[in-house]
Amino acid sequence: MPRPRSRPPSLRPLWLPMLGVVVLGMFFGLFFGLNYPEIVRHGWPLTRCRVLDARVDQRYCCKTTCSALTCSSAPFGAPSCGTVVSQIDGQFSPSTCAANSTACPAATSGTCDNGYQCCSQCCQTCQSCSTSCTTNSDGSKSCHQSCTTKQCNCYCCNSTAHKACSYSCPTCYNDVLTISYTTYKGQAVNATYRQDFDKDESKAIGFLDEHPVDSISACYYNPSNLNQIAFDVKFTAWKWVVTALFGMVPLLALLLFLLGSYALMPLVRAVKRRRARSQGIGHTAEGSSVQQPEHKRVTADDAPPPPYHPPARSTTL
């Protein structure tokens, strides 16, 4: 007797929970990372803010750039990238440098030593094979071997102990406003508002022109932290677009798949089984029905004639 073929286990219980965890993680990560703070800030109470003082703070904002295409070494005596960047950021100020040339850094850009760097790796090619067997309907087994190749035993074959990088320290601008306002409970509060404009000096000056000293404008404050102030609580469009594309759309697709797989498809199968069962019962009843003979009333005319019996002969002695 042939052995029944064993069905391979379904992979749905494995990949479906993993997919659900990934989709939910992306949605909640994007929502609480990008959108939830804006939703909370959108509910801050509205008040009127008076500007008591306004200024533009300048600072050096250094950045290190290293090319991945080259493996050149820094010249002898080049400063360390981490050291020169931390010194310029923490010990010098553009405004102080403008007032006193002796308080300026030696250079705000140049070449620095970024230390050891592995520029390229050399790897071997390894092959791994696996064999899977299945049982056929006649009891025999059929096996299949699959092999994959990957890189292994990698090591650094090109490196430098003094990677040459470049550093640049432009001037960045940060507006600082001292503001007074009154809460909805009547409490007077003095707070400091800061807004960073990076390297855009024109925007920093333009913001101060919109909020000069002694000006009064609408603002919003955080009732949980009265030192937090915002002049604009509008939603950021690109944040919601990112959340919709990479969070809401995959989540909606997953919900539709679950609805179709575990709700609609079983319902459709049940309806088809019921319809097939009803059709099968109808065919059985039709095939088992026997036509009954018709009963006809028999009259004297329709009765068959009696059988003929010849008369008996008499014998005379």
Q: What pLDDT, in 10s, does the model give residues 84-109?
A: 999 999 899 999 999 998 999 989 99
**Domain parsing of the chain, residue ranges:** 62-112+162-169, 121-156
> 299 pLDDT band (50/70/90 cuts)?
low
Q: Check whether 53 has a pLDDT greater than 80.
A: yes
103 secondary structure, DSSP code? G
For residues 79 and 99, the answer to whether their CB atoms sit within 8 Å is: no
Higher pLDDT residue, 310 or 145?
Answer: 145
Residue 30, exposed/middle/buried by CB under 10 A (0-12, 13-18, 19+)? buried
Is the pLDDT score of 183 beyond 50? yes
- Candidates 193, 166, 208, 186; CA nearest to 67 is 166
Segment 7-40, tens digit of pLDDT: 555 555 677 788 888 888 888 888 888 888 888 8
Is residue 305 pLDDT above 70, yes or no?
A: no
- Give the residue with greater pLDDT, 68 vs 51: 51
User: Is 286 buried (19+), middle (13-18) or exposed (0-12) by CB count in 10 A?
Assistant: exposed
| Residues 6 or more apart in contact with residue 170 via CB below 8 angstroms | 60, 61, 108, 199
Q: Are strands 46-60 and 216-222 parallel, antiparallel or unpaired?
A: antiparallel
Mean pLDDT confidence for 210-226: 93
Check residue 316 and give its pLDDT.
Answer: 47
pLDDT tens digits, one per residue of 144-160: 888 888 888 899 988 99
Other beta carbons within 10 Å of 315: 5
How many Å is the Cα radius of gyration of the chain? 45
Q: Over 60: is that where the pLDDT of 289 sits?
A: no
22-31, 70-79, 132-141: least confident range: 132-141
Between strands 141-160 and 63-65, the pairing is: unpaired
Residue 258: pLDDT band (50, 70, 90) is confident
First vs last C-alpha separation in the chain = 92
* Greatest Cα-to-Cα distance within the chain, rounded to the nearest angstrom: 185
Q: What is the pLDDT of the chain when averaged over all its residues?
A: 83
Rounded to 5 degrees, φ, ψ at 232 are: -145, 125
Mean pLDDT of 269-277: 81
Report d(CA 95, CA 105) in Å as an integer: 12
pTM more than 0.75: no
- The answer, yes or no, to whether residue 300 has pLDDT greater than 70, is no
CA-wise closest residue to 237 among 38, 71, 20: 38
Gap between the Cα atoms of 93 and 169, Å rounded = 11
Residue 32, pLDDT score: 83
User: What mean pLDDT is predicted for residues 51-80?
Assistant: 92
Predicted confidence at residue 50, as pLDDT, reads 96
44: tokens are: 């801050």
